[in-house]
């Protein structure tokens, strides 16, 4: 009977958390589809063209980054495949392009998740967009200075040929929502088991010295770890759930979302970029080091100014929904 009650409780939590996420995902998915049909993605890609040159990339790659930002990593990959016949990129260039996509993608959904968690929209936008460009510039400078990755990139991934009909898109969206529900259920189940067994406390204590140096408090360490490994959508969703149940300092939430914004879904997204021909050192090692350094510097800077002022500028009045 206790097991039955346990699973029912997890299912109820899954329903509430998934409902919160779907309130963001569904209208955004429809909006992005409309933008695709109206050609707005191409216009945004053209607008990004001058910025791409700052990171050593051809202007034509702007549409790739635009697709990733407005849709998701897979949208960026499909756009990347579509321009392959017209341009030739080195391994270094593909890695730089991959890095900026990894830092800044799926904005309509992930920025809203960060907002619901308690971070102001303009702040999280500037962080992810601005630091994506900065990271790309630094990585490009490293590759150029040391003449690394200058050979032509090998393109290892090709998108599946799919019909662009409305019913195909709708079915794909339903599958994605189903995947989100299953993922949230599994994460909540694991979190609950870890809490009951005491392993969650042990994990938090083990990671506290490391993440504590970056300013990430023990209260959000488990969710931050989930975000770093599985994705910001899930880490952010768990933070939203936690803020509904207990009071978490707003700046702690901001620090966690900052770290997750710069570096999340380390395994899946990194493998996707490597399949495009990106370098492991650039999309994994550099990305981790860059996220750690930026988080460390931002936290130290914030701690030097008045905390209430920082809270007011960076976070919403209340992270609760």
> What value does the mean pLDDT take over residues 165-192?
81
* DSSP, residue by residue, 127-158: HHHHHHHHHHHHHHHHHHHHT-S-SBPP----
Output the pLDDT for position 169. 75
3-state SS string for 236-305: HHHHHHHHHHCCCCHHHHHHHHHHHHHCCCCCHHHHHHHHCCCCHHHHHHHHHHHHHHHHHHHHHHHHCC
How many domains does the structure of the chain reveal? 1
Indicate if the pLDDT at residue 90 is higher than 80.
yes
Spatial neighbors of 23 by CB under 8 A, at least 6 apart, are none
Indicate if the pLDDT at residue 157 is higher than 80.
no
Q: Give the chain's mean pLDDT.
A: 85
pLDDT digits (tens, 9 = 90+) for 3-38: 778 888 888 888 888 887 788 778 877 777 777 777
Residue 61 lies in a domain: yes
Residue 320 lies in a domain: no
CA distance 25 to 101: 19
Q: How many CB atoms lie within 10 A of CB 236?
A: 32
Output the pLDDT for position 282. 96
Longest dimension (CA), the chain: 65
Look up the domain containing 19 and give its range. 2-152+168-314
Which of the pair, 263 or 39, is modelled with greater confidence?
Answer: 263
Share of the chain above pLDDT 70, in %: 93
In terms of average pLDDT, the best of 150-164, 174-188, 275-289 is: 275-289
Output the pLDDT for position 147. 95
Q: Which residue pairs, CB below 8 angstroms and at least 24 apart, start in 45-48? A: 45/79
Kindly state the tokens that stand for 321: 């929904």
pLDDT band, residue 290 (cuts 50/70/90): very high
Closest CA to 21 of 181, 211, 259: 181
What letter would DSSP give residue 88?
-
Residue 161 lies in a domain: no
> What value does the mean pLDDT take over residues 259-265?
92
Q: Residue 245: exposed, middle, or buried by beta-carbon count in 10 A (0-12, 13-18, 19+)?
A: exposed
Residue 321 lies in a domain: no
Residue 158 lies in a domain: no
Output the pLDDT for position 77. 86
Residue 230 lies in a domain: yes
Q: How far is Cα of residue 320 from the mean position of the Cα atoms in its chain? A: 21
Task: Spell 12-34 as b/e; 16+ CB within 10 A means b.
Answer: ebbeebbebbeebbeebbeebee
The helix/strand/coil state of 22 is helix
pLDDT band, residue 115 (cuts 50/70/90): very high
CA distance 165 to 172: 11
Q: Are 50 and 217 in contact (CB under 8 A)?
A: no
Closest CA to 255 of 137, 129, 127, 134: 127
CA distance 126 to 121: 9
């Amino acid at each position: 009977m206790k097991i039955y009650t346990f699973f029912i409780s997890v299912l109820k939590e899954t329903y509430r958390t998934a409902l919160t996420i779907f309130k963001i995902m569904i209208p955004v998915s429809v909006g992005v589809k409309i933008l695709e049909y109206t050609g707005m993605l191409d216009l945004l890609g053209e607008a990004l063209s001058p910025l791409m040159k700052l990171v050593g990339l051809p202007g034509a790659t702007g549409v790739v980054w635009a697709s990733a930002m407005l849709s998701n990593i897979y949208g960026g990959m499909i756009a990347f495949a579509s321009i392959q016949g017209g341009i030739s990129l080195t391994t270094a260039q593909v890695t730089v392009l991959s890095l900026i996509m990894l830092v800044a993608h799926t904005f309509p959904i992930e920025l809203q998740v960060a907002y619901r968690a308690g971070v102001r929209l303009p702040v999280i936008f500037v962080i992810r967009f601005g630091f994506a460009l900065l990271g790309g510039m630094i990585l490009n400078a490293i590759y150029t200075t040391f003449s690394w990755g200058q050979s032509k990139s090998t393109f290892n991934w090709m998108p599946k040929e799919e019909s662009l009909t409305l019913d195909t898109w709708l079915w794909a969206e339903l599958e994605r929502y189903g995947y989100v529900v299953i993922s949230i259920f599994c994460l909540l189940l694991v979190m609950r088991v870890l809490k009951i067994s005491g392993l969650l406390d042990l994990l938090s204590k083990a990671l506290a010295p490391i993440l504590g140096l970056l300013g990430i408090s023990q209260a959000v360490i488990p969710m931050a770890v989930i975000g770093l490994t599985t994705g910001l959508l899930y880490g952010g969703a768990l933070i939203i759930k936690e803020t509904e149940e207990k009071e978490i300092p707003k700046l702690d939430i901001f620090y966690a979302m900052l770290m997750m914004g710069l570096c999340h879904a380390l395994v899946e997204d990194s493998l996707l970029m490597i399949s495009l021909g990106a370098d492991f050192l650039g999309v994994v090692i550099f990305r981790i080091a860059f996220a750690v350094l930026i988080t460390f510097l931002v936290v130290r800077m914030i701690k030097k100014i008045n905390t209430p002022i920082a809270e007011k500028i960076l976070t919403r009045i209340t992270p609760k929904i």
